[in-house]
Amino acid sequence: MKSLALLGAITLLGFTVVAGAATPEAQLMAPVHLLSDSLNKGDTKTAASALSSSGVTIIDEISPHIWTGADAFDTWLKAYAAWGQEEAITDGAYKAGKPTGVVVNGDHGYVALPVVYTFKQKGMPMREVAHMVFVLQKEKSAWLITAFTWGAGTPNPVASAAK
């Protein structure tokens, strides 16, 4: 019986070591996916957990175009909501593509990737292909986002599948 318990503990330890040995890309993408998945669900509290507690820098096409500091995420969310209301935007969702650039230098990381933003504008389905860049820093044992930027594309109506 003791040998089965020992075998179980060794197996569990092995899985833990393998799980902890994720590629640098996977480690950096974890907070990026947490941020986008949480925002898509409307869960801003969980989205904020992907961000550095010391603050972030956000650059976006929405005025005033830059937010920095400990309250940057909250003030950006307010600006984003106001912009969405002004532009009659609803049902927004982001989908991250495969990274086109991943750089890790010690406890600093950089990720560039394409994104697709789907939404409705005045009830019409729209799609925008854009690019995002994330800057991350390893704090304690977790990668957290310290900055992100939205490189806007051109929104286009989604062609109707039914004709």
Number of compact structural domains in the chain = 1
pLDDT tens per residue, range 40-79: 999 999 999 999 999 999 999 999 999 999 999 999 999 9
| Structural domain for 86, as ranges | 23-157
CATH of the domain at 46: 3.10.450.50
pLDDT tens per residue, range 91-133: 999 999 999 999 999 999 999 999 999 999 999 999 999 999 9
Is 5 within a domain? no
Residue from 117, 108, 112 nearest 132 by CA: 112
pLDDT of residue 21: 60
Is 103 within a domain? yes
The sign one gets for the Cα dihedral 148, 153, 159, 160 is positive
The reply to whether omega before 155 is within 30° of 0 (cis) is no
pTM of the model: 0.84
Q: Determine the average pLDDT of the residues in 5-22.
A: 44
Residue 140: pLDDT band by 50, 70, 90 thresholds? confident
Q: Do residues 100 and 114 make contact, with C-beta atoms less than 8 angstroms apart?
A: yes
